Amino acid sequence: MSKNRKIRETSATARGNSAGRSREVLGVVCLGAAIFLTIAMVSLQAGKLVMGPFGRSTASLFYGLAGMCGYALIALAVVAAVRTLIDRHPVMPRAIALGVGIGVIALATLAHLAFGSYRVASHGPGGAVGEHLAEILRALISTAGTALLACVGLVVAVVVATPLRMREVLYLIGAGACTVGNALKLGLFAFARFWGDVFRAILPERRDEDDDQEEEEEERGRSRGRRGKAIEVEEDDVLEVGADDHVAEPMIIERGSALAEDAPAKKPRGKKPAVSETQDTEVMLAVVPPIEVVKAETGGDVIALKPKRSRFPSGTKAPEPANDEQDSAPVGVPAIVAAAASSEAGPMIVEPRFKHADANAMAAKEQAAEADRRTFIKLGEGDYQLPSIQLLNYDTASQNTIDRSAMLELSAKLTQTLENYGVKGEVVAIRPGPVVTMYEFAPAPGTRVNKIVNLTDDLALALEALRVRIVAPIPGKAAVGIEVPNKSREKVFLKEILADELFLKGRAKLPMAIGKDIEGGPMVVDLAKMPHLLVAGTTGSGKSVAVNAMITSLLYNCSPEDVRMIMVDPKMLELSIYEGIPHLLLPVVTDPKKANLALRWAVEEMERR
């Protein structure tokens, strides 16, 4: 019996050793496969084939199935290998494998929802599994429902694959939230305590100053109540007391009046000497000769203006004002409004900074443009010469003269219309442009800007304009800009903009002529700063003109070495005139199917760069 028992124990030990060795071999194989797949997938994403064609095929298969979530499958293989080599456990329990599978599917779905346009080795971020499942669920329960379902799947995967329970997870979340809340509360208390100490250190001085100001206001109020009828004095009178005088708000008082006898002494404040108002009056009357008292004819109180203190030293004559009309401008009105009010001709018409070039000026611009333009650019096939500026047309007779009477009449109509709606003010400046004229309207103090903005349609109706644009307010000015289209628009020629220094000597890499601003200045933008540009608008708003101006600007500034174009024109109307230019990478595409292929190639080239 003992011999048989020993034989059985020996055979059991041998079977255990062989099973342990087989598990170790399996663990090593799993670990090696995980490392092989990791290197293959990373190298394929970097565009290199470190693991050869087989590694590329395997990595492409993983990317195609699960996308970026294929790395989760590699992590699963690593965990299985470690458990087999160290813990002597089975390769992977079924629960963990099921949880990881559910998690991979949920992650693939979320990856497709969040990064659907992103490509990893020409595959979607969620692979075929995530893409198909996300699209099916999106069609059934929308994107929000699909995201919610995927999040629920992630939670289920964590519960199945790990020993964690939702009760423990919620407890940990609650404990973390309490910790963060307590930290924020202590931080807020410390912050409030710090600033409280700062304010307590600063506020006593301000409180003393406020108390002094309140006492001064009370004294002034009591003195006004006792004055009765005041003496009217001319505003331009100057009282010359002396160099070392100390007069606190002098007032002209009749000798022997009740005010001189009953004026209470001011309370001492701070370090200033306690000087009563009676003493100040006595000092002043001792120096100033007696002034004739002007009796008020009416029974009401007369407003007494305090004499202005001279800004010039004693013995110096103040300069006379250059213009009396400027001195009579109302107080509190902006300077631009006061200047406009003093003018009898109405608002100021500002001459445009950029005027329509005449024939001589345009000829000079052409010569300068031809001199500054690059003439020849070396290419592989030969020399390319930029087109001459003289190929473009220009009409000097299209300039519109400024009708001052019509502008002044329209400004008066604009002011009257705004006044009818309760907005008072006046037009202070008129800035005519080639297409639009801006009227600078200075509203009265206390007028809300939004009230003017809401009157856009009413102003267009009253001014009989197609539309009215309001710039409220004009940057750097105390006025509101009201842009009204001109009755006769001035033509804008592309030749004038292409010959301008802003286009020829600008710093733009890909300059494009857009047109002119409201003052007639050229508008040039850089296409390199806006690679994705959409031109949209209603019928007749100038989309085709803008696109042709952009293309012509590029042709006048860039060689085929600098710019290559792919033109798609399904209508076969707009871009057919550019057929055959050397800048075209392909002939003008008119077939929608070929357009799809051309645009796809352009997208791939952009992503490659």
pLDDT (mean) for 258-276? 44
> Confidence band (pLDDT; 50, 70, 90) for 230?
very low
Task: Please identify, among 457, 485, 513, the residue that sits at the C-terminal boundary of a domain.
Answer: 485
pLDDT (mean) for 22-41? 83
> Confidence band (pLDDT; 50, 70, 90) for 55?
confident
Residue 190 · residue 139 · CB < 8 Å: no
pLDDT at 340: 41
> In this structure, are strands 425-431 and 348-349 parallel, antiparallel, or unpaired?
parallel
Q: Which helix (H) or strand (E) holds 45?
A: helix 2-45
pLDDT at 285: 47
Tell me the two tokens of residue 59.
Answer: 């990595």
**Higher pLDDT, residue 436 or 520:** 436
d(CA 432, CA 356): 12
C-alpha dist (Å) from residue 79 to 28, 161, 288: 12, 12, 105
User: In the predicted model, is pLDDT for residue 218 greater than 70?
Assistant: no
CA torsion 447→449→454→455, rounded to 10°? 60
Which ranges in 228-276 belong to alpha helices (H)?
258-262
**Higher pLDDT, residue 541 or 49:** 541
Q: Taking every pair of C-alpha atoms in the chain, what is the biggest distance, in angstroms?
A: 150
Q: Computed from CA positions of residues 555, 559, 562, 568, in that sequence, does the dihedral angle turn out positive or negative?
A: positive
Tell me the two tokens of residue 3.
Answer: 């011999």
> Strands, DSSP E only, in 479-518?
480-485, 511-516
Q: Are residues 448 and 514 in the same domain?
A: no
pLDDT at 413: 92
**Residue 114 placed within a domain:** yes
Q: Which helix (H) or strand (E) holds 523?
A: strand 522-526
Q: Are residues 117 and 171 in the same domain?
A: yes
pLDDT (mean) for 60-81? 81
Tokens 């301000």 correspond to what residue? 206
Tell me the two tokens of residue 181.
Answer: 């809340």
Distance of CA 219 to the CA centre of its chain: 52
pLDDT at 443: 93
Tell me the two tokens of residue 100.
Answer: 């990881």
Q: Which of 91-100, 197-206, 234-243, 251-260 has the highest mean pLDDT?
A: 91-100
User: In the predicted model, is pLDDT for residue 125 greater than 90?
Assistant: no
Q: Are residues 466 and 573 in the same domain?
A: no
Q: Are residues 424 and 569 in the same domain?
A: no
Q: Are residues 477 and 527 in the same domain?
A: no
**Residue 93 placed within a domain:** yes
Task: Measure CA of the first residue to CA of the last residue in the chain; give whole Å.
Answer: 81
Provide the 10 A C-beta neighbour count for residue 495: 21
Residue 41 · residue 70 · CB < 8 Å: yes
- 238 phi, psi to nearest 5 deg: -120, 130
pLDDT (mean) for 263-280? 45
For the chain, the C-alpha Rg in angstroms (whole number) is 43
Single pTM value for the model: 0.40
**Residue 368 placed within a domain:** no
> Confidence band (pLDDT; 50, 70, 90) for 239?
very low
**Residue 191 placed within a domain:** no
Tell me the two tokens of residue 472.
Answer: 């409220």
**Residue 2 placed within a domain:** no
> Confidence band (pLDDT; 50, 70, 90) for 415?
very high
Residue 131 · residue 94 · CB < 8 Å: no
Q: Are residues 469 and 495 in the same domain?
A: no
Provide the 10 A C-beta neighbour count for residue 584: 17
Buried b (16+ CB within 10 A) or exposed e, 93-128: eeebeebbbbbbbbbbbbbbbeeeeeebbebbbbbb
**Residue 39 placed within a domain:** yes
Residue 55 · residue 93 · CB < 8 Å: no
Q: Which of 190-194, 196-200, 370-374 has the highest mean pLDDT?
A: 190-194
Task: Please identify, among 445, 460, 485, the residue that sits at the C-terminal boundary of a domain.
Answer: 485
pLDDT at 461: 92
> In this structure, are strands 436-443 and 376-378 parallel, antiparallel, or unpaired?
unpaired
User: In the predicted model, is pLDDT for residue 418 greater than 90?
Assistant: yes
Helix (H, G, I), strand (E, B) or coil at 113: helix
Residue 44 · residue 60 · CB < 8 Å: yes
**Higher pLDDT, residue 80 or 495:** 495
**Higher pLDDT, residue 272 or 527:** 527
Instruction: Please give the tally of structural domains in the chain.
Output: 3
User: In the predicted model, is pLDDT for residue 231 greater than 50?
Assistant: no
Q: Which residue type does 161 have?
A: A
User: In the predicted model, is pLDDT for residue 170 greater than 60?
Assistant: yes
Q: Which of 56-70, 303-317, 320-334, 386-400 has the highest mean pLDDT?
A: 56-70
Pick from 37-41, 69-73, 298-302: least confident: 298-302
**Residue 418 placed within a domain:** yes
pLDDT at 248: 42
Q: Are residues 480 and 506 in the same domain?
A: no
Q: Are residues 461 and 517 in the same domain?
A: no
Q: Are residues 408 and 545 in the same domain?
A: no
User: In the predicted model, is pLDDT for residue 224 greater than 70?
Assistant: no
pLDDT (mean) for 527-532? 86
Task: Please identify, among 485, 514, 536, the residue that sits at the C-terminal boundary of a domain.
Answer: 485
Q: Are residues 448 and 513 in the same domain?
A: no
Residue 480 · residue 505 · CB < 8 Å: no
User: In the predicted model, is pLDDT for residue 446 greater than 50?
Assistant: yes
**What's the angle, vertex CA 534, arms to CA 531 and CA 539, rounded to 5?**
155
Kindly report the length of the chain. 609
User: In the predicted model, is pLDDT for residue 364 greater than 80?
Assistant: no
Mean pLDDT of the chain: 73
Instruction: Name which of 491, 372, 502, 545 is nearest 511 in CA terms.
Output: 502
> Strands, DSSP E only, in 346-492?
348-349, 376-378, 383-385, 425-431, 436-443, 469-471, 480-485
pLDDT at 201: 73
Q: Which of 115-129, 266-280, 391-405, 531-545 has the highest mean pLDDT?
A: 531-545
Distance of CA 193 to the CA centre of its chain: 36
Instruction: Name which of 36, 45, 83 is nearest 63 in CA terms.
Output: 45
For 78, the domain range is 17-177
d(CA 157, CA 161): 6
Residue 156 · residue 104 · CB < 8 Å: no
Q: What is the pLDDT of residues 502-514, one digit of tens each?
A: 888 888 889 999 8
d(CA 250, CA 183): 61
pLDDT (mean) for 224-250? 44
Specify the CATH number for the domain of residue 575. 3.40.50.300
**Residue 43 placed within a domain:** yes
pLDDT (mean) for 240-249? 44
Q: Are residues 434 and 501 in the same domain?
A: no
Residue 107 · residue 69 · CB < 8 Å: yes
Taking each helix axis from N to C end, the angle separating 127-161 and 52-66, rounded to the nearest 10 degrees, works out to 70
Residue 192 · residue 266 · CB < 8 Å: no
Taking each helix axis from N to C end, the angle separating 52-66 and 70-82, rounded to the nearest 10 degrees, works out to 110
User: In the predicted model, is pLDDT for residue 199 greater than 60?
Assistant: yes
User: In the predicted model, is pLDDT for residue 188 greater than 50?
Assistant: yes
Specify the CATH number for the domain of residue 426. 3.30.980.40
Q: Are residues 170 and 23 in the same domain?
A: yes
Cα within 13 Å of Cα(600), Cβ side:
7
Provide the 10 A C-beta neighbour count for residue 39: 14
Residue 191 · residue 197 · CB < 8 Å: no
% pLDDT > 70, the chain? 65
d(CA 443, CA 450): 12
Pick from 15-19, 82-86, 92-96, 535-539: least confident: 15-19
d(CA 554, CA 512): 7
CA torsion 336→342→345→351, rounded to 10°? -30
**Higher pLDDT, residue 533 or 274:** 533
